[in-house]
Structure formats: C-alpha cells, structure tokens
C-alpha cells in the first residue's frame, strides 16, 4: 500500500509530476531509506521500502526470513514484492542492497522504473551500519570485510542503474534528494530513457 508522504513547507512538490517509479539501489548504509523519504516528500508522492513490504508479506523480520527460509527464498520474495510495487502508481522505492544484483529483479526495475545508484565509499557505509543490527549478512566476525567484498562484487551491477549519485559524508538528505532530481532530469533530457521520461513538466 503506497501512502503519500507528508508534505511540509520546505518539501513543496516540485513543478513536475512523477511518471515512473524512482528505484533507489545500492549497498546497505547508502541512505536509500532516509534519502528516499525526503525525495518522496519533495515530489509529493508515496515512499515504500521493499524490506518493510517483504517483512509484512512474510509476517517475519528479515533476520528471521534468512534464518528460517534462507537467502534464496528471501531473494525470491524480494523479486515478487518489487515486481508488485513497480506495477503500482509512480512512487519512490528504496530496495534492499542485494535486489539489483538479481538478474530478474534488475531487469524488471530497469524496464518499469528509473533506477538510481546511491554510491558511497565503504568507510562511510560501514560507519552508518556498524551499530545497527537487523542485517543478517553483516552478523559476522568482520562485517567491514564483508561489506568491502560486497561492494567489489556488486558495483558492476549497480553501475547498470540509469543514474548514479554520490553520497558523501556531511551531505544532507535534502541535498541528496535535490541532486537525485537534477540527475534524473539531466538523464531524461539527454534521452536516457527512450521508453519515456521520469518527470512530466507541469509548469
């Protein structure tokens, strides 16, 4: 269920309408959820976190799904949930860090959404995730080594996103959200999405 994000004076809708779902991809800690919420507020559209939807659909937390059903079952559920969300009205969708690596999920995102890789260096990602439990892949002796390895292996897939935006230390969610809008508009104008642009100008 996609709910419209609350709007504040500083998050008045932009002078254009979203016509495709913006899908945020990238590693754990990239800021997909926090920046995504701010972006949705600015655009006056709904925000959804695919991890939350998966937990609701399964009636279990993500660590419970990994522990009792295993990662392949999680990936399968993730693909189905993301496919369902992409069929709903345009919104901002934050995805789990592994989703865009799965070929079928990536293909669906690329065909129905506008994908944005929130890229950050591993030191910054690790600072953001190290004290936050709930990510089964990082429940290991050396989570930074795992994150480094995931970054190396996944970067070539993330690089297939339509747009890449760098997340830097000290950069506010608001600035990130504005940068994403500008990057997508530039991509649209350059004809990046031959199948249709992400925004429709309304002013």
User: Which among 32, 145, 43 is positioned nearest to 97, based on CA atoms?
Assistant: 32
- Return the number of the residue (32 or 91) whose C-beta is nearest ligand S3P: 32
Does position 36 interact with ligand S3P (CB under 6 A)? The reply is no
Does position 51 interact with ligand S3P (CB under 6 A)? The reply is yes
Q: Report CA-CA distances (Å) from 88 to 23, 45, 68, 136, 182.
A: 13, 12, 30, 29, 24
Of 163-192, which residues contact ligand S3P (CB under 6 A)?
none
Of 98-157, which residues contact ligand S3P (CB under 6 A)?
98, 135-137
Does position 62 interact with ligand S3P (CB under 6 A)? The reply is yes
d(CA 61, CA 174): 29
d(CA 56, CA 58): 5
- Return the number of the residue (58 or 193) whose C-beta is nearest ligand S3P: 58
d(CA 163, CA 186): 9
User: Which among 45, 51, 59, 37 is positioned nearest to 2, based on CA atoms?
Assistant: 45
Q: Please report how close the Cβ of residue 17 comes to ligand S3P at its closest, in angstroms.
A: 27
Query: Which position among 31, 36, 77, 97 is part of the footprint of ligand S3P (CB under 6 A)?
Result: 97
Stretch that binds ligand S3P, among 7-15, 79-87, 94-102, 120-128 (CB under 6 A): 94-102
- For 97-112, the DSSP string reads TTGGGSHHHHHHHHHH
Q: Please report how close the Cβ of residue 182 comes to ligand S3P at its closest, in angstroms.
A: 24
> Which residues are near ligand S3P by CB under 6 A?
28, 32, 51, 62, 96-98, 135-137
């Amino acid at each position: 269920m996609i709910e419209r994000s609350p709007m504040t004076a500083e998050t008045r809708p932009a002078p254009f309408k979203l016509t495709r779902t913006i899908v945020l991809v990238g590693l754990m800690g990239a800021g997909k959820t926090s920046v995504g919420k701010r972006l949705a507020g600015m655009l006056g559209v709904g925000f959804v976190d695919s991890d939350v939807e998966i937990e609701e659909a399964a009636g279990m937390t993500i660590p419970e799904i990994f522990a009792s059903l295993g990662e392949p079952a999680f990936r399968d559920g993730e693909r189905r949930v993301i496919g369902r969300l992409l069929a709903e009205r345009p919104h901002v969708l934050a995805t789990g860090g592994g989703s865009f690596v799965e070929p079928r999920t990536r293909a669906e995102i690329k065909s129905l959404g506008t994908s944005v890789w929130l890229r950050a260096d591993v030191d910054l990602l690790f600072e953001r995730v190290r004290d936050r439990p709930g990510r089964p892949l990082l429940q290991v002796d050396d989570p930074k080594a795992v994150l480094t390895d995931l970054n190396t292996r996944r970067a070539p897939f993330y690089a297939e996103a339509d747009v890449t935006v760098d997340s830097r230390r000290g950069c506010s969610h608001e600035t990130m959200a504005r940068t994403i809008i500008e990057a997508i508009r530039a991509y649209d104008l350059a004809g990046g999405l031959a199948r249709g642009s992400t925004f429709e100008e309304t002013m």
